[in-house]
Structure 1
Amino acid sequence: MLKKRPLVLVGAVAAALSLAACGGSDSSAGGAPSGPPQAGGTLRYGLSLAPTCSDPAQSATNQTIYVDRQVVDSLVDQDPATGEIKPWLADSWLVSADAKSFSFHVKDGITFSDGTPLTADSVRKNFDSIVALGGAKAPLGASYLAGYAGSTVVDPHTVRVNFDTPNAQFLQATSTPQLGIQSDATVAKSADDRCLGANIGSGPFTYAEWKQNASATLAKRTGYNWGSAVFANKGDAYLDKIVFTVVPEAGVRTGSLSSGQLDAVSDALPQDVSQIEGSGGRVQFTVNPGVSFGLQANVTRGALRDPAVRAALLTAINRKELVDTVLGPQFKPATSVLASATPGYVDLSSRVKYDQDAAKRVLDQAGWVPGADGIRVKDGQRLTAGVLFAPVFAGNQAILELTQQQLRAIGFDLRLEPASVAESTVRQNNKDFDFDYYNSTRADGDILRTTFAFDQRNLNARPDADKLDTLLTQQLSTTDPAARTRAIGDAQSAVLDDGLWIPTIELSQAIGIGKGVADVKFEASARLQFHDTWLKR
């Protein structure tokens, strides 16, 4: 039997997240039901955006992961209060001193919902399949397995995952839904077939129905007794079913919650809080860790090829106005590339402080002069760029419209280019954009590597690896928490040095919850976990 030991690899994660998470989850007025949990009932949940794929390995949007996460378990879990890595499917693990080898002992008696056993070989097949999906289909999962050299099945319950190069982030990565474990039958399917709602996991719920771009229904699985050590409930889920429906309009979601047609909803807006509270409900908040919302520049396109333009934009945006005007007090202006709840976050607010006069001076010095219509020009080229964005968060359109106004004041013409999630993904993969506006959630500073590294998606289209890539490799290579934190901090500065990311706001999850619903919980990555949730009936 492997011995579980304290891991230096997660020391930085635990220290940073424990500080950030103390105030990470909060509720507006209105209390949850009290008393012992009651089993039974159907939770009716209103999503703000259609789930795109039933396969967690290929899922990126919060609304999709809210559904997929309930069906799959992970090897380990991450305590949202402390950042500590806890047992889940694996009851013990070992990490080599060079962070190239990770061994997991899988609990005995775990089965997938089709009755087949979950073994060490199941883990191997899952990781092999994610590598085969590749970065285009599974960008997060593939990045977590960068340098994957294969997995060795030591015995039916022990698997050793090997990497060609150090991969210090991997233990935390095995807590994410993207590396959740699915049945052999599921991972043998094609990428497209894995998105159709027939996925088989070992989680507390199973797919009962999947209607693409419309709804999903999950049913409780009986006999579930291998839940995460983070779960309060050690047996079957309390809910019999969860019905997810897509309700894009915020006002309709709020009205349906207040009238009792829905039990919980995504993306409650500030103006909705009083109505939700007035019906006896509450709004539950938590700050997302990971890369803050921001504009990622394609440095090969138009005016964005000029580093001075990208530098000017850092101080041209009034982030506090974005929050105060569009979002409300539960949200924060971005003060770095990483959100403040992320392990390794460094406060770089002085680098992104609102100062339009400074932005204008940078543009003046670079030779961009105001044109007849106020938009600057240089060598016959207008200072303009489009921004690609998808409706993955209800506030995106309004935030970018206000950003558009702010940038026009310095002579920059920002063109808004809304797109569906599917279209946005295609254009991202083809690097067919000037700016790409999004965020990326993960409770580990390695999310910087996924977002910016030359050998990952490289949406900035940087032509060569440079200092930033050296720093991102360093944080993968060290098992010293302090050294890893320093490298992650230096990497955030390097991103701003080159204007590769123009931060705007930190994302918070704001979930409207009806008066009869208890224990809706956020996991460490700010996604919902319904295993402990129950209804007062």
Structure 2
Amino acid sequence: MLQTRVTRPRRIALIGLAGAVAVSLSACAESERGPDAGGGEGQTGGTLVFGAAGAPSNFDPFFASDGETFRVTRQIYEGLVGITPGTADLEPELATEWTPSPDGLNWTFKLRTGVTFHDGTPFNADAVCKNFERWYNQTGAGATAALSYYWIENFGGFSDGKQPSLYKSCTAKDESTVELALTRFTARFPTMLSQSAFAIQSPTAMEKYKADDVKAQGDSFIFSEYARSHPTGTGPFKFVSYDEANGTIELARNDAYYGDKAKLDKLIFRVIPDETARKQALEAGDIDGYDLPSPADWASLKEGGYNLMIRDPFNILYLGITQKNNDALKELKVRQALAYAIDRETLVKSVLPEGAEVAKQFYPPTVVGYANDVMEYPHDPAKAKQLLAEAGYENLKVKFWWPTQVSRPYMPNPQSIFGAIQEDLQAAGITVEPVSKPWAGGYVDDVEVARAELFLLGWTGDYNSPDNFIGTFFGTTENQFWTSGSPWAEDLATAIDAADATVDNGERDAKYQDINRKLMAEYLPAIPISHSPPAIVVSSKVQGLVPSPLTQEEFGPVSVTS
């Protein structure tokens, strides 16, 4: 099938949050949600206060791309498809089932009936199509990668036709049936609809409060009244207020919710940017939980009686290699020497938190297309020195960038990780020149413009798809700091596109496995280091919170004991 490549925007500074497992073309899914779906045990009522690391950018998920915004909007909105709590598995949400045409170009979604938005507007096929048409018809600031990142990453262009779009049309066949037409097959659909950006919003509220009235102002944006004060979905919680001065977002239970009602009366997110301050607030009883506690605090939190929940890892940390500015790094043997030089087993055991695993390729073993027979690089300094000598670079010198003022699920302690890798490289005879910069104060910019030679970077999956990992990393040759100038970069991007366009599940899996073998043996554009499990911590009074490997927790079943 002819494949039109989507130009993917770069997003190394963001954490992917949503995820799901692809549904095969021959299958449909049936709902397990609804009034009889069951809920967590626990006391009804009360208020839970959760410590947030940052303020939301706005409350319109389509115009968002950051985890702190999605943590809030996920409680307010729902999508056609969702995620089974505690897993990365696709499940029905506002759609009860979906069926593709044989070529995968037309998808029929059966919708829930008797569902209303928070403003009383009926949820139906017309509302779904109005959302898709809104997304597709963005113009001006709304059509930029800064605001419509997830649309551009997943669907490509808009109705102006300047770039190809995966989206073709949405048709309301009847009140509870929608047909979505695509311009080409992609294995990522409908899985990608599980991302928070594609939540279905009230057409009435969006029109009333001018949802698309967003304007650029310097490096930031002025959002609409809708995005600031009137977000309206179908979820278990309703928006109440945002006190920007005090950094407090208040949600209340949606008593008209079609499924199990939220147990909490109120859900409050309190912005506390400093991680140490969040820990102190938990200990003082000012908040009931927070995300991503430092691994150095795990033991003391557990000893203090707090419920520390360690998620399954769904991420990758890698040592990035920019080939543009150092001729030695263009040589495969040199990149292989770097891989042999790093003692990843010891790094994982001594530096990373409990449950971390050595990465053998560029995504976790739970993702489709994982190959069990890729070339591996066990710690072997002698082998590293041999390869450097064979390549003519026995006196290799490299500049190694590492970030400060940041903690990521895949990279909880950048300085310690850098120190361990630096020591390994030096033991193999490689001279390392350290370069450290704040994550948001030059580090990301340097990496994106290919100024860094070696660098630490990673990714948390948006959803369970190989394309979301290796497609994001290597699926384009434009602005590509990993593969810039490499003779195989175009072949790699083409192979990734071809795999995504393969309808047959078995053939597609085989293609991805072949790509992973070549990535590790023939290309090695970077060095996979580890998969690291992020944690979330709550008070012992909190019950019913199910940790998500995608950091996509739902608070509807959560209760707080008195």
Alignment of 1:333-348 (within 5 A): 333-347=358-372
Q: What's the counterpart of residue 43 of structure 1?
A: 48
Give distance in 2, aligned partners of 1:244 and 1:398. Answer: 31
**What do the CA deviations read for 1:104-125 (whole angstroms, capped 9, x no partner)?**
2332343333443444344344
Alignment of 1:106-125 (within 5 A): 106-125=111-130
Give distance in 1, aligned partners of 2:505 and 2:87. Answer: 15
SS of residue matched to 1:105: strand
User: Cα gap change, 1:111/1:521 in structure 2, threshold over 3 Å: closer, same or farther?
Assistant: same
Alignment of 1:275-424 (within 5 A): 275-289=300-314, 291-303=315-327, 304-347=329-372, 351-370=376-395, 376=396, 382-387=397-402, 391-393=406-408, 394-410=412-428, 411-413=430-432, 415-421=434-440
C-alpha contact 1:254 1:275 (8 A) present in aligned 2: no
Q: What's the counterpart of residue 459 of structure 2?
A: 439
User: Cα gap change, 1:436/1:341 in structure 2, threshold over 3 Å: closer, same or farther?
Assistant: same
Q: What's the counterpart of residue 18 of structure 1?
A: none
Q: What's the counterpart of residue 555 of structure 2?
A: 530
C-alpha contact 2:311 2:548 (8 A) present in aligned 1: no
Q: 1:220 aligns with which of 249, 252, 259?
A: 252
Give distance in 2, aligned partners of 1:188 and 1:308. Answer: 52
Q: What's the counterpart of residue 148 of structure 1?
A: 166
User: Cα gap change, 1:206/1:225 in structure 2, threshold over 3 Å: closer, same or farther?
Assistant: closer
Q: Which moved more, 1:471-480 or 1:385-394?
A: 385-394
How far is 1:516 from its partner?
0.4
Letter in 2 for 1:205: F
Q: What's the counterpart of residue 281 of structure 2?
A: 256
User: Cα gap change, 1:286/1:474 in structure 2, threshold over 3 Å: closer, same or farther?
Assistant: same
C-alpha contact 1:204 1:236 (8 A) present in aligned 2: yes
User: Cα gap change, 1:177/1:49 in structure 2, threshold over 3 Å: closer, same or farther?
Assistant: same
Give distance in 1, aligned partners of 2:514 and 2:242. Answer: 44
**What do the CA deviations read for 1:112-161 (whole angstroms, capped 9, x no partner)?**
33443444344344445555545454444432224413222233443332
Letter in 1 for 2:70: I
SS of residue matched to 1:439: strand
Letter in 2 for 1:112: F
Q: % of aligned pairs identical? A: 23
User: Cα gap change, 1:84/1:45 in structure 2, threshold over 3 Å: closer, same or farther?
Assistant: closer
C-alpha contact 1:404 1:414 (8 A) present in aligned 2: no
Give distance in 1, aligned partners of 2:286 and 2:366. Answer: 34
Q: 1:176 aligns with which of 195, 199, 222?
A: 195
**What do the CA deviations read for 1:22-57 (whole angstroms, capped 9, x no partner)?**
xxxxxxxxxxxx994222222222234555554444
Give distance in 1, aligned partners of 2:228 and 2:474. Answer: 31
Alignment of 1:421-432 (within 5 A): 421=440
**What do the CA deviations read for 1:262-288 (whole angstroms, capped 9, x no partner)?**
211222334423322333222111123
Q: Which moved more, 1:474-483 or 1:76-85?
A: 76-85
What's the RMSD between the two structures over aligned residues?
3.5
Matched, 1:519 2:544: yes
Q: What's the counterpart of residue 479 of structure 1?
A: 503
C-alpha contact 1:407 1:413 (8 A) present in aligned 2: yes
Q: What's the counterpart of residue 106 of structure 2?
A: 101
Q: 1:188 aligns with which of 207, 212, 216?
A: 212
User: Cα gap change, 1:281/1:388 in structure 2, threshold over 3 Å: closer, same or farther?
Assistant: closer
Letter in 2 for 1:478: T
Q: What's the counterpart of residue 19 of structure 1?
A: none
Give distance in 2, aligned partners of 1:174 and 1:245. Answer: 28
Matched, 1:8 2:24: yes
How far is 1:81 from its partner?
6.5
How far is 1:357 from its partner?
2.4
**What do the CA deviations read for 1:63-94 (whole angstroms, capped 9, x no partner)?**
44333322221111233567653221112212
Letter in 2 for 1:383: V
User: Cα gap change, 1:365/1:337 in structure 2, threshold over 3 Å: closer, same or farther?
Assistant: same
Gaps of 5+ in 1: 1-5, 14-33, 227-233, 371-375, 377-381
Matched, 1:504 2:514: no
Matched, 1:453 2:478: no
How far is 1:474 from its partner?
3.1
User: Cα gap change, 1:524/1:280 in structure 2, threshold over 3 Å: closer, same or farther?
Assistant: closer
Alignment of 1:127-142 (within 5 A): 127-128=132-133, 130=135, 132=138, 133=143, 135-142=145-152
Give distance in 1, aligned partners of 2:240 and 2:442. Answer: 28
Gaps of 5+ in 2: 1-21, 30-38, 157-164, 216-220
**What do the CA deviations read for 1:227-250 (whole angstroms, capped 9, x no partner)?**
xxxxxxx32211223333344554
**What do the CA deviations read for 1:287-342 (whole angstroms, capped 9, x no partner)?**
232x5122333433335444443332222222223222222322222222102333
C-alpha contact 1:122 1:183 (8 A) present in aligned 2: yes
User: Cα gap change, 1:57/1:35 in structure 2, threshold over 3 Å: closer, same or farther?
Assistant: closer
**What do the CA deviations read for 1:192-234 (whole angstroms, capped 9, x no partner)?**
32775754333222444446798442412423434xxxxxxx3
Letter in 2 for 1:384: K
How far is 1:453 from its partner?
0.3
User: Cα gap change, 1:326/1:9 in structure 2, threshold over 3 Å: closer, same or farther?
Assistant: farther
Q: What's the counterpart of residue 68 of structure 1?
A: 73
Q: What's the counterpart of residue 16 of structure 1?
A: none
How far is 1:503 from its partner?
1.5
SS of residue matched to 1:363: helix
Give distance in 1, aligned partners of 2:372 and 2:283. Answer: 39
Matched positions, count: 493
SS of residue matched to 1:159: strand
Letter in 2 for 1:145: F
Give distance in 1, aligned partners of 2:75 and 2:442. Answer: 27
Give distance in 2, aligned partners of 1:41 and 1:244. Answer: 14
Normalised TM-score (structure 2)? 0.76
Q: Which moved more, 1:324-333 or 1:134-143?
A: 134-143
Give distance in 1, aligned partners of 2:133 and 2:431. Answer: 46
User: Cα gap change, 1:187/1:407 in structure 2, threshold over 3 Å: closer, same or farther?
Assistant: farther
Give distance in 2, aligned partners of 1:170 and 1:113. Answer: 28
SS of residue matched to 1:369: coil
Give distance in 1, aligned partners of 2:523 and 2:346. Answer: 25
Letter in 2 for 1:450: T
User: Cα gap change, 1:240/1:356 in structure 2, threshold over 3 Å: closer, same or farther?
Assistant: farther
User: Cα gap change, 1:383/1:396 in structure 2, threshold over 3 Å: closer, same or farther?
Assistant: closer
Give distance in 2, aligned partners of 1:524 and 1:122. Answer: 31
User: Cα gap change, 1:340/1:483 in structure 2, threshold over 3 Å: closer, same or farther?
Assistant: same
Letter in 2 for 1:217: I
Letter in 2 for 1:460: W
Give distance in 1, aligned partners of 2:153 and 2:270. Answer: 31
**What do the CA deviations read for 1:452-490 (whole angstroms, capped 9, x no partner)?**
201787453545753323332233223333222222222
How far is 1:167 from its partner?
0.9
